[in-house]
Structure formats: C-alpha cells, structure tokens
C-alpha cells in the first residue's frame, strides 16, 4: 500500500479567510490529477457537533448521508469533489474529549493520569489517521478550524507537529492561509501580520511549507520574495489567493498559482498528469454566461446571515448554470411578512422557496408566502419546515381547518397536521436525536418528482423531528394536495405536490445537501426551470399587455 499523505490547512491573522474553499480547491485539483482525496475539518469548539448551534453562530448545519450534523465546510468539500463525506470528516474538541473521557471511565488508561499530551493529542491523531487507514484515499486534507494562536486550537496544532515529526516532511505538509491587508492610506499591501502568524506557528514547532495569501490586490514579485524570506518558505510556495467573484474560480486560480504542483513536489508525488478540469470549466462557463435571469424569493428567518442557507444558495448556483440562467436569490425575512404587505414584498418574483427552520418565530410569514405562491401560481419549493408550512397553509385555507398547525408551534392545536413522530415523543436530549441522514423514498409516477428524478426510489438527507400527520392524508389528497413520495420503511409522507398548480413541491428532506457542481440537484434544476418558464410567460404577458395599450 502506498504511504498516505496528510495535508493540514491552518489559518492565521483573521478568521473567515476561506480555509474551507482553499482546502476544497486544492483537493479538486489533486482529484483532477487522479488522486483519491478526502477532506476533514477539525473544529476547536466544545459542542459535540454543530447540531445544537443556532445558525447565527456558525451558519448552516450540514448533514451527511450517515446522519452526522457537521460544519458547513463539509458542504463545500462535497460540492467541489462530488464525493460524500461522513461522520469521520468532522471532529470537534467536544467529541475528542468525550471519547477520551469515556475511555478513562472504562479504565483503558490503566491508572495513568489523563492529559492533553499525549491522550488528547493521540485521540486527535487517531481521528485524522482513521480516514487514511480506510484505504480509500491517497491524500487526506485536514482543515484546522480557528486561527493560529487561539488557546482552543493548541492541541490540534501540537498534533500536527507530532505527525510531522512522526511521519516526516514528505508525508505531512502544512499549508498556512493568511491575510495580506491593503492599507488604503499608504497604498500598500502589508506582510507584517503574516510574518507574525508564521512566527506563532513556529513557536508551536511547526514550519509552514506553503503560504496561501488572501489579498485584494496582486502580490508583486518583490512582495513574494519578502514573504518567502521572512516566513522561511520557498518563493514558489508563496501562493496568491486573490478575491474571486465566485468560489468556483478558486481551483482555477490555485492552478495558475501552482498550488497543486508545489504540494505534489513537496509530498514526493508525481505531478506529471495535468488536472482534467473540462467539466469544471464547462460549469464555470455556463455559470458566467447566463442567457436570462430569474428572481427567486428565499423566505426564511435567518436571512441576515447568508451562511445560514449556504447549501441552498449553492444549489441555485449549480441549477442556474445547468439551465444557463442567473438565479437572483432575494432574501425575504419571514418575520416581517403579513397579509397586508405580502404582495409588495413578493412582487417581481418568479419562484418562492420557503426555507427550513426551527421554532415559532417567523412561521406565520412563511405560511402567508406559501399561500401567495399557491394562489398566484408561482413555482414553489418548500424544504423541511417549508414543506410543513405548505401542509398547514393548505389545511387552513383549503380544508378550512383554521387552527391547523404543527405541534412544534402549538402543542394544543386541534388539528396537528404536522406532528411529532411516535419514537420522538420519549426523547428529551436535543443533540443528535432528530431523524438524520439518508432515508429512502418511493416516488409516485405522474408527479413532478416522478419526472424530475431519474429513479423510482431515491435517498435524501433528513434533519427534523416533526412529520406529515398521516391521519390527514386522505382529506388533503381529496382536496388536491397529493403525497408523491413515501418512505418505504415507515410509510411516512416525504413529498407533497399540488397537481393543479404549475410547480408546487414540498419535501420533508433537504435536497440542497446533495447538490454538487458535477451533479446539480434535479429538484433545484427543475424548480429554476419552472421559475424561468414563469418569467418568460410573464414577459410575454407584459408584451401582450403592452400591445393592447
């Protein structure tokens, strides 16, 4: 077996520099050269996983097939590589300590004092090498969350130092991502923060092999030389990462800068095969040259923070490129929608997406938005909570069950059209206890989803506690809201549609987690197409109207 190579991506100077995108871009280039790659994220916080975090904290919670609730960077890894990730790809300090403490309770440390070094660092190294040992990958890229110098990331940095010492520089590579700020008043790019950050890394015994420099302006040769000298790296290992108009440009920029070839050289791997990026470039071309535009309203309650809906926004990028349409996503705060302002707030939209979410805040606005989409024949996609709101809206306004609700919002409702699953009723712990991960769903023929997916049975990822209440199924179907996707194991309704409407689909699962550049999600592709058709129709209508004036 070949030696597994490990690449670490650390960050300095500032957070939010895009370590995840750099890691994913490098991985893409190495994958395009024929290497088998996976990417892992180590998060220094104490939560066991981000499942219990409010989206305002770290943005969206991403979900893998095996039901792990993870950092949103795993979404980037999947979207770039088109390879599914799993529980092993995201590890938090909480999880590390949890397993060390469990081992201690089982007596596995044989009376020893349990300490950060070696017990915590061993557990960290174990989690990194676990992926290597699967035999599925040639290279494991591990992104270390946070910024070098943070107290909480010290055990991770120390683990990297140990791995470099144990496995050697040929097998372990450190890429340090920093910021080169531009001082407008001086008209200059400044290298000092990067010098300090590299020094900080050195204090922990790690010499960065490659520097990736985030910058708003091009790095001159002199500046690259200076960085190389002061930061103790080869000049070819100073990589410029200039601001990009789309994250999907970054692999191309990194290729131009030679990040993949210097990485391969340092790891003693062949860089003879150039990367095959034909499909990627075709995607970029379509993405950048749309033939028309659509406006899609994203109705949610976390809209102030775009990261909360990361996967949805990226799914629109993929689906837009596929349709050669620019999708302008218009974020609309559901808390401020009511029946008096709905027409104004949603005017000019060609489609409406009601977003996932938890809790009562903003749900009446979501229900109003569903009603608007249903009555105005606007293409509608409801995801998870969005699907549940569609069932409530239909029950209230078509079945006349005025107090229909989800028991999540009103436990006393006389018409619990959305209700807690039986096996959820005894659960009190919040973390990791929802219906999570991939579940199968049988699709009904002669339905939108039946036509959209190429399969009769699909599997899609879930993250919820509440479900469509089967007791109302017949009543809803008789009135025109049809269950078109059923879970074959449990009989639960996973998809609803309104056949009398041009395009009205609600899904209990999260299609956005499975959309990638190579495989745009078919439901998003079809939704964007429906919105596009709607926009064409309305343009025609406008023309027609103008002709009669």
Catalytic positions: 384, 510, 512
Q: Which of 45, 109, 230, 358 binds ligand GLN (CB under 6 A)?
A: 358
Q: Quick one: 398 or 421, whose CB is closer to ligand GLN? A: 421
| Binding flag, residue 49, ligand GLN (CB under 6 A) | no
Q: Which of 44, 50, 251, 357 binds ligand GLN (CB under 6 A)?
A: 357
How far is 14 from 137, CA to CA, in rounded Å? 31
| Binding flag, residue 329, ligand GLN (CB under 6 A) | no
| Binding flag, residue 529, ligand GLN (CB under 6 A) | no
Q: Quick one: 391 or 486, whose CB is closer to ligand GLN? A: 391
Smallest separation, CB 291 to ligand GLN (Å): 33
Smallest separation, CB 120 to ligand GLN (Å): 33
Q: How many CA atoms lie within 13 A of 113 on its CB side?
A: 3
Q: Quick one: 316 or 466, whose CB is closer to ligand GLN? A: 466
Q: Which of 408, 419, 494, 512 binds ligand GLN (CB under 6 A)?
A: 408
| Binding flag, residue 362, ligand GLN (CB under 6 A) | no
Treating both helix axes as pointing N-terminal to C-terminal, what angle do 154-167 and 121-133 enclose, rounded to 10 degrees? 60
Smallest separation, CB 306 to ligand GLN (Å): 18
Q: Quick one: 322 or 366, whose CB is closer to ligand GLN? A: 366
- Long-range interactions of 54-61: CB distance < 8 A, separation 24+: 55/302, 55/305, 55/307, 55/308, 56/302, 56/304, 56/305, 56/308, 58/307, 59/305, 59/307, 59/308, 59/310, 60/307, 60/308, 60/309, 60/310, 60/311, 61/463
What is the widest separation between alpha-carbon atoms in the chain?
90
**Contact by Cβ (8 Å): 215, 183:** no
Which residues 6+ apart lie within 8 Å of 406 measured at CB? 388, 392, 413, 416, 417, 418, 419, 466
Q: Quick one: 73 or 408, whose CB is closer to ligand GLN? A: 408
How far is 77 from 89, CA to CA, in rounded Å? 10
| Binding flag, residue 437, ligand GLN (CB under 6 A) | no
How far is 82 from 67, CA to CA, in rounded Å? 18
| Binding flag, residue 356, ligand GLN (CB under 6 A) | yes
Smallest separation, CB 134 to ligand GLN (Å): 30
Smallest separation, CB 481 to ligand GLN (Å): 18
Minimal CA–CA distance to 506: which of 417, 392, 385, 382? 382
Q: Quick one: 156 or 466, whose CB is closer to ligand GLN? A: 466
Which residues 6+ apart lie within 8 Å of 545 measured at CB? none
| Binding flag, residue 421, ligand GLN (CB under 6 A) | no
Smallest separation, CB 462 to ligand GLN (Å): 8
**Contact by Cβ (8 Å): 27, 251:** no
Q: Which of 124, 385, 389, 476 binds ligand GLN (CB under 6 A)?
A: 385
| Binding flag, residue 413, ligand GLN (CB under 6 A) | no
Q: Quick one: 211 or 495, whose CB is closer to ligand GLN? A: 495
Other CB atoms within a 10 A radius of the CB of residue 373 amount to 28
| Binding flag, residue 300, ligand GLN (CB under 6 A) | no
How far is 18 from 22, CA to CA, in rounded Å? 6
Smallest separation, CB 240 to ligand GLN (Å): 39
How far is 268 from 40, CA to CA, in rounded Å? 22
| Binding flag, residue 97, ligand GLN (CB under 6 A) | no
Taking 3-state DSSP, the helix, strand and coil percentages for the chain, each rounded to the nearest 5, stand at 45, 20, 35
| Binding flag, residue 511, ligand GLN (CB under 6 A) | no
Smallest separation, CB 327 to ligand GLN (Å): 21
Smallest separation, CB 510 to ligand GLN (Å): 7
The gap from C-alpha 292 to its chain's centroid, in whole angstroms, comes to 26
Burial of 168 (0-12, 13-18, 19+ CB in 10 A): exposed
| Binding flag, residue 369, ligand GLN (CB under 6 A) | no
Q: Quick one: 124 or 434, whose CB is closer to ligand GLN? A: 434
| Binding flag, residue 512, ligand GLN (CB under 6 A) | no
| Binding flag, residue 53, ligand GLN (CB under 6 A) | no
Question: Which residues on neighbouring strands pair with residue 435, listed in sequence order?
Answer: 464
DSSP single-letter state for residue 416:
E
Question: Which range binds ligand GLN by CB under 6 A, 168-176, 462-470, 487-495, 521-529?
Answer: 462-470
Smallest separation, CB 390 to ligand GLN (Å): 12
**Contact by Cβ (8 Å): 51, 435:** no
Q: Which of 384, 401, 486, 496 binds ligand GLN (CB under 6 A)?
A: 384
Smallest separation, CB 356 to ligand GLN (Å): 3
Other CB atoms within a 10 A radius of the CB of residue 426 amount to 6
| Binding flag, residue 463, ligand GLN (CB under 6 A) | yes
| Binding flag, residue 485, ligand GLN (CB under 6 A) | no
Q: What binding mask, one character per residue, do residues 11-40 give for ligand GLN by CB under 6 A, x or -?
A: ------------------------------
> Binders of ligand GLN: how many residues, by CB under 6 A?
10
DSSP string, 84-141: ---GGGEEEHHHHHHHHHHHHHTTTTTTPPP-IIIIIHHHHHHHHHHHHHTSS-SEEE
Q: Quick one: 125 or 366, whose CB is closer to ligand GLN? A: 366
Question: Which range binds ligand GLN by CB under 6 A, 49-57, 135-143, 335-343, 459-467?
Answer: 459-467
The gap from C-alpha 471 to its chain's centroid, in whole angstroms, comes to 34
| Binding flag, residue 465, ligand GLN (CB under 6 A) | yes
Residues that bind ligand GLN (CB under 6 A): 356-358, 384-385, 408, 463-466
């Amino acid at each position: 077996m070949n030696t597994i190579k490990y690449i670490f991506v650390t960050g300095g100077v500032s957070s939010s520099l895009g370590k995840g995108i750099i890691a994913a871009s490098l991985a893409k280039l190495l994958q395009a050269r024929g290497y088998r790659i996976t990417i892992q994220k180590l998060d220094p916080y104490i939560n066991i996983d981000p499942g219990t975090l409010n989206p305002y904290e770290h943005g969206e919670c991403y979900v893998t097939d095996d039901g792990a609730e993870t950092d949103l960077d795993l979404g980037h890894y999947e979207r770039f590589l088109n390879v599914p990730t799993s529980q092993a790809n995201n590890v938090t300090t909480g999880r590390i300590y949890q397993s060390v403490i469990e081992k201690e309770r089982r007596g596995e440390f044989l009376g020893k004092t349990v300490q950060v070094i070696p017990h915590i660092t061993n557990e960290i190294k174990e989690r990194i090498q676990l992926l290597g040992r699967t035999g599925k990958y040639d290279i494991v890229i591990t992104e270390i969350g946070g910024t070098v110098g943070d107290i909480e990331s010290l055990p991770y940095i120390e683990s990297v130092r140990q791995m470099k010492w144990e496995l050697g520089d040929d097998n372990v590579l450190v890429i340090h991502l920093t910021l080169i700020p531009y001082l407008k008043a001086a008209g200059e790019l400044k290298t000092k923060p990067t010098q300090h950050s590299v020094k900080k890394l050195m204090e922990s015994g790690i010499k960065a092999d490659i520097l990736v420099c985030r910058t708003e302006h091009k790095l001159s040769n002199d500046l690259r030389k200076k960085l190389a000298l002061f930061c103790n790296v080869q000049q070819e290992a100073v990589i410029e990462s200039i601001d990009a108009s789309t994250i999907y440009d970054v692999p191309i920029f990194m290729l131009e800068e030679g990040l993949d070839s210097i990485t391969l050289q340092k790891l003693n791997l062949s860089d003879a095969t150039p990367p095959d990026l034909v499909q990627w470039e075709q995607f970029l071309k379509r993405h950048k040259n749309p033939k028309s535009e659509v406006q899609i309203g994203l109705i949610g309650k976390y809209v102030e923070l775009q990261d909360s809906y990361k996967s949805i926004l990226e799914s629109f990028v993929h689906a837009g490129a596929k349709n050669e349409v620019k999708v302008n996503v218009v974020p609309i705060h559901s808390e401020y929608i009511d029946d008096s302002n709905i027409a104004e707030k949603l005017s000019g939209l060609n489609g409406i997406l009601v977003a996932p979410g938890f809790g009562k805040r903003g749900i009446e606005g979501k229900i109003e938005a569903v009603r608007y989409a249903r009555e105005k024949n606007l293409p509608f996609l409801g995801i998870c909570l969005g699907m549940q709101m569609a069932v409530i809206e239909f029950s209230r306004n078509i079945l006349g069950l005025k107090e229909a609700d989800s028991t999540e919002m009103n436990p006393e409702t006389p018409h619990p059209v959305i209700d807690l699953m039986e096996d959820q009723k005894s659960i009190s712990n919040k973390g990791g206890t929802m219906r999570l991960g991939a579940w199968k769903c049988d699709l009904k023929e002669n339905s939108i989803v039946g036509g959209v997916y190429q399969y009769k049975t699909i599997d899609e990822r879930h993250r919820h506690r509440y479900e469509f209440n089967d007791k109302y199924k017949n009543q809803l179907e008789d009135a025109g809201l049809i269950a078109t996707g059923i879970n074959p194991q449990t009989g639960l309704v996973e998809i609803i549609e309104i056949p009398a409407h041009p395009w009205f689909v609600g899904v209990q699962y999260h299609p956005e987690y499975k959309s990638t550049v190579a495989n745009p999600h078919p439901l998003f592709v079809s939704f964007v197409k429906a919105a596009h058709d709607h926009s064409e129709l309305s343009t025609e209508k406008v023309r027609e109207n103008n002709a009669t004036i």
